[in-house]
Structure 1
Amino acid sequence: MSSLDFNHLDSFNQGGLKTRLTKKQKIVIAAAAVLVIALAVLLCVKGCGGSSGARDNTLSLVRMYMERGEYDRALDKLEELLMKNAGDKEALDLMDAVIAEKNRASSGDASSANVRVEVDTDGLTQVIESMKSGIERNNRAAEQNSRAMADLLSQQKAQAEMEKTRLEEQKKQQKLAEEQRKKDEAAKKAAEEKRKAEEEALKKKNAQLNKEISFVNDEIQQGKAALQAGSIDKALSHFETARNNLPVSDGEPAFSAGKYSEMAQALHNSAQNAASGEVRNRLEEAAVSYAQNAISLTPKDAASNYIIGADAMSRKDYKKALDSFMQAVSSDSKNYLYYYDLGRAQYMLKKFTEAKYSFNTACQLNPSFAPSRYNLGLTNNKLN
């Protein structure tokens, strides 16, 4: 019903039965109807007002998009409004304006376009500062790399110079070693020739002497051959036979002293290459015995004094070793081994200044003999 008509509320049909309403019931029903109508009107008013507010907000949003140049977003919002109300004149006019602005912006007519450009100057400043910092870091890194490259080239140059110097020194040492080898060979040859000459002089004296000399020499040569073959007992036997046939009938004591010294040297040299300590001890003991025989006849015999000194060194009797080596270098000042072992004895007795002189002399006599240089370094270290 469009309006309230209380006259029609007098009765109603219920279950096919006609019932008469009381006055109180009529009032209650009328009040309920009024409440329903008021609620409907209120909902209509709120719905219409909310719709109008949303439309205004959308139009404001479209104008903001238009000012920022976001034309496509503005057109999307206008289409949403026109989908709801195709006859919205304000929305249609605004759409025409947006399309016109978009066309002008795309054609490059910046003077007629209402474009708002916002620049984040703070962000731009940060970017510029970051770029400047990056450039400065790159410059510092490039400078460091340049210095590192210069240092590397300098080191390589220095190393090349050191290598060149080392090679030159190596060639020099090789040349000195070769010269020393030739000198040693010449000295050895001269000594051998001298010995043979002396023997030949003795041989001429008489046939008996020649026979004795030949026998002793033959036994010594057989003893040396046995040493080279490793037959120690056989070698010692030949040397003992030679000793038993000394002295010879003439030319003494020089000949016998020389033979004792010769056998002592052969035994000592063989002992240096012995395969076992037992064999070495046997050979050294025999060498010392023959050396003592030689010294008893010629106290200044260099080789025999050296062998006695070496034996004393092995027994750590450094005082005796010092005396024997001193006698050896006094009799033969050209043998670098004599000076080397003399320096060792002096070093062990803490005579570092004397040891330095001995090692230095050994280096001068034979520059290629490394132990002399090593021990010279140790001695200089003791002398600070």
Structure 2
Amino acid sequence: MRGARRERRARRLRRPVGSPSVSRIYLSPPHPSGREVELVRDAIESNWLAPLGPHVDAFERELSALVGVENALALSSGTAALHLALTVLGIGAGDEVACSTLTFAASANAIRYTGATPFFVDCDAATWTIDAALLDEAIAGRRRAGARVRAVVAVDLYGQCCDYDALQEVCAGHEVVLVQDAAESLGATYRGAPSGGQAALAAFSFNGNKIITTSGGGMLVGADPDLIAHARKLSTQAREPAPHYEHSEIGFNYRLSNVLAALGRAQLAVLGDRVAARRRINARYRALLADAPGISFMPEAPYGTGNAWLTCILVDPERFGADREAIRLALEAVDIEARPVWKPMHLQPLFSGYPVAGGDVSARLFERGLCLPSGSALSDAEQDRVVAALRSASCR
């Protein structure tokens, strides 16, 4: 019955026939810097069309300098970066890896790619990122059960870093390695330092909806040159330095192309502007919805500055007069894209039955959380349209 009422309300909110057309507002569309054509033309005219080339080398240097991590490896996706991180750290069959449950599936899929088994840890309600105290208990519990726990994949969520001081203390106490899934946090800071240098290895994503994009791509960064060198070898099918094709270990076809790296360089140059724009949009949403009963926002942790990749709200349906899904449908009815907060991994059919520590916090965030349009080119008029449609979903 509730679903039927939602759909009837969504139909009532659709634009009437003959009304002026308006452009669809997307959740997080690409925002070109203006230099993409110039740099891609250079890649094409120089005939560096195959994977690797001068733009790849420059992209690695520029991102390495920006995040303050000495070694960087440009790859085809953030997932590839996570997979290689775990692989070069020696994670494999028979191992268990702790993972944030409130995340996109790639964080956990990369663990399975290695043959290892994930177990999931709930988030902290104050930051929405992995709960360090619960992680400590979960690792101890898995070890008591006979599991060989080797690593932790901590996920920076919606542009906010995890509490890495607390996580490093837990990992050191259990002698496990920490991997930073920074797919969503490029441009954020942790205790004044750029995101990406808080773990042994970190993975960034440049997917089409991220704060900067190479259409599809990623980057692995780390302080240990040997780990990055090994990952670099594996990313090109693990070719040995021989005049013929020689292989002594299994490799992958994971390198970023020179053309896409040119896109990345154009985008990286304006990262600071893009972060500032998204933070302004986030602050404006907070101001515009400050008086909306039952609407609250993802907290910003006191230990850092998020990049506000996506602005996320929580909806109390009793106070607001509509639930998260009713709001999403009301927005969709007027061509505005919104998306529920990540469905926790322990609730996904794929990972049904895997161990989980806690889970209630992330389940509640999924039930009530909604990501609003947050692209860095979002205009005030478009944002006003989002807010008006959101308010219209209330029955009060």
Q: Which has the larger radius of gyration?
A: 1
TM-score interval (norm. to shorter): under 0.3
| Structure number having the greater strand percentage | 2
| Structure number having the greater helix percentage | 1
Structure 1 length-normalised TM: 0.24
